[in-house]
Amino acid sequence: MKKKLSFISIGYTILSAIIIAGGSYLAIMYAQGNYRFTQSGVLVESGLLSANSFPTGAQVIVNGELTTATDDTIYLEPGIYTVEFKKDGYSPWRKELVIEKELVTQTNARLFPVAPSLTPLTFTGVENVLPSPDGQKLVYYTASASAETRNGLYVLDLNDSINPFQKTSRQIAVDVPLYELNNADFIWSPDSSQLMILTRLKQVIVDVNQMNNLLSLPDISFRRSEILSEWEEEMYLRERQYLAEFPEEIIEIATQSAKNVYMAPDKRKLLYTATASAVLAPEIVPPLPSTNTQPESRKIEPGNIYVYDSEEDKNFLIASDETEIDQVNKSLLADDLYQKSPRTLKASPSAFTRLQDQTVANTALRFNTYHSSLTINTLQWFADSNYLLFIKDNRVQIISYDGTNNTTLYSGPFAENFIYPWPDGSRVIILTAFSPDTPQNLYSIELK
């Protein structure tokens, strides 16, 4: 009898162990996204689609079938899916996404309004407008104010405020007609706190945070080259710091086989135009578990525009270069990134004159092109580092950094040499006039 009870006890123990082991296995598999009950049945293996969008509430259509609404998580069998988001009043979003076993694929979709409203930012006319290096300010000249003392130079602050719809410009200098400020050349200091004004009669530096008297300011013509070299050294050191986070292979291409290289606001992506053929080796950096699944182009061809994502080690083809061959192009200053010590102005004065030219106009153009691709009318980074702004076919357009979802933001009248993103991504600034009898002013295309 005792022997029989012993066998029963052992049997219960073994059965309990099997149940616990089986339950643990199922719990682990369930936590990994397996054995999920869906409308199509039980999924033994699955991956997760995190269908998120801004704004939320968009229809989620997977392979042509309405599935849910954003934001939501969907369990799908591993494979390739066509995912679409649709929301009334907004342009659709569409991508081919790869769902991998036990991994999460995020959409992070931005939906843009199909009929955005326009908000005026200025009212007295705008000429000679230029963004600051930090992207937080615009300087411009106006000669159409109601009083002569209100004509001159203004700064429009683009930083966040309690009520961004009540943005007003600050006057930083009263007009001096002899200086012809509408045709003057401007160069921002690297920290965006000063502005060098270059005219035929006088060259001065103003503090953009206060009112300045252009007539009483000292002429800096004889020191211009020295000041610009100091600014260039500061730009070089800052660039060196940011580029150090990128793999050596892409730095070699960016410094030797590319032009118009612009870092994204998050400093993790590079926009560049190839000038020579090259091949990026696979897995320059250790691969992440879940990355952008769009096709990339690691074979680089001259004349094409690419975006390199250092976080995911992906290189995406965006477009073909359409800039003029003879125009000024941006080149990186930190072409000695892997030298032990950075160059210094004291030891190598001539190394910090690369942006200076024989003419004042070309010098200003080189500095301004370094700070912003707006100057050469090519692709510009959007504030969130996930999109690029550009002008094509008389339309303001935006495209994802991986080359997908090309969307028209605005197709009304505007000056084709000026579009600029608001720092928080809520708006895009254009320069336009809606009547031939009125001067051009700055307007914002409202995207939220």
Domain containing residue 45: CATH number: 2.60.40
Return the amino acid letter for 246: F
**pLDDT on residue 10:** 61
405 C-beta neighbours (distance < 10 Å), count: 19
Nearest alpha carbon to residue 406 among 417, 424, 392, 385: 392
Radius of gyration of the chain (CA): 28
**pLDDT on residue 221:** 97
Rounded Cα–Cα distance for residues 352 and 227 (Å)? 10
Positions in the chain short of pLDDT 70:
1-44, 160-167, 322-326
93 with 141, same domain: the answer is: no
User: What contacts 72, CB < 8 A, 6 or more positions away?
Assistant: 51, 60
Within-domain flag for 311: no
Within-domain flag for 135: yes
138 secondary structure, DSSP code: E
DSSP codes joined into one string, 148-188:
GGG-EEEEEE-S--S-GGG---EEEEE--GGG-GGG-EEEE
330 with 414, same domain: the answer is: yes
CA angle at 178 for the pair 168 and 169, rounded to the nearest 5°: 5
Rounded Cα–Cα distance for residues 134 and 319 (Å)? 26
221 with 350, same domain: the answer is: yes
Task: Give the tens place of pLDDT for each residue, 201-255.
Answer: 999 999 999 999 999 999 999 999 999 999 999 999 999 999 999 999 999 999 9
Show the tokens assigned to 46: 């699955």
pTM score of the predicted model = 0.88
Within-domain flag for 175: yes
Beta strands in 52-151 (DSSP E): 53-54, 59-62, 65-69, 72-76, 79-86, 93-99, 104-106, 109-110, 118-120, 127-131, 137-142
Query: Domain boundary at 110, 128, 149, which?
Result: 110
Show the tokens assigned to 239: 């660039």
CA angle at 39 for the pair 38 and 44, rounded to the nearest 5°: 35
**pLDDT on residue 307:** 98
HSE (CB half, 13 Å, CA atoms) of 12? 5
Contact 294, 318 (CB under 8 A): no
Within-domain flag for 257: no
Within-domain flag for 222: yes
426 with 354, same domain: the answer is: yes
Within-domain flag for 149: yes
Within-domain flag for 80: yes
Nearest alpha carbon to residue 232 among 348, 381, 328: 348
Query: Domain boundary at 56, 88, 110, which?
Result: 110
**pLDDT on residue 338:** 83
Query: Domain boundary at 110, 126, 141, which?
Result: 110
346 with 398, same domain: the answer is: yes
227 with 371, same domain: the answer is: yes
Rounded Cα–Cα distance for residues 298 and 246 (Å)? 16
103 with 122, same domain: the answer is: no
Return the amino acid letter for 75: Y
Show the tokens assigned to 170: 């600050």
Rounded Cα–Cα distance for residues 176 and 184 (Å)? 12
65 with 195, same domain: the answer is: no
Rounded Cα–Cα distance for residues 181 and 139 (Å)? 12
Q: How far is CA 174 from CA 180, 203, 405, in A?
A: 12, 15, 45
142 with 182, same domain: the answer is: yes
CA angle at 304 for the pair 403 and 327, rounded to the nearest 5°: 120
Return the amino acid letter for 10: I
CA angle at 174 for the pair 187 and 420, rounded to the nearest 5°: 45
418 with 377, same domain: the answer is: yes
**pLDDT on residue 45:** 78
Q: Taken in order 390, 396, 401, 403, is the CA torsion positive or negative?
A: negative
Domain of residue 234: give its range. Answer: 118-241+325-446
**pLDDT on residue 36:** 46
The residue written with tokens 């397996």 in the block is: 34
Q: How far is CA 230 from CA 131, 219, 243, 345, 355, in A?
A: 21, 18, 20, 7, 12
Number of independent structural domains in the chain? 2
Within-domain flag for 309: no
What counts of helices (H) and strands (E) characterise the chain?
A: 4, 32
77 with 142, same domain: the answer is: no
Rounded Cα–Cα distance for residues 308 and 269 (Å)? 5
Bridge partners, residue 400, by sequence: 387
137 with 65, same domain: the answer is: no
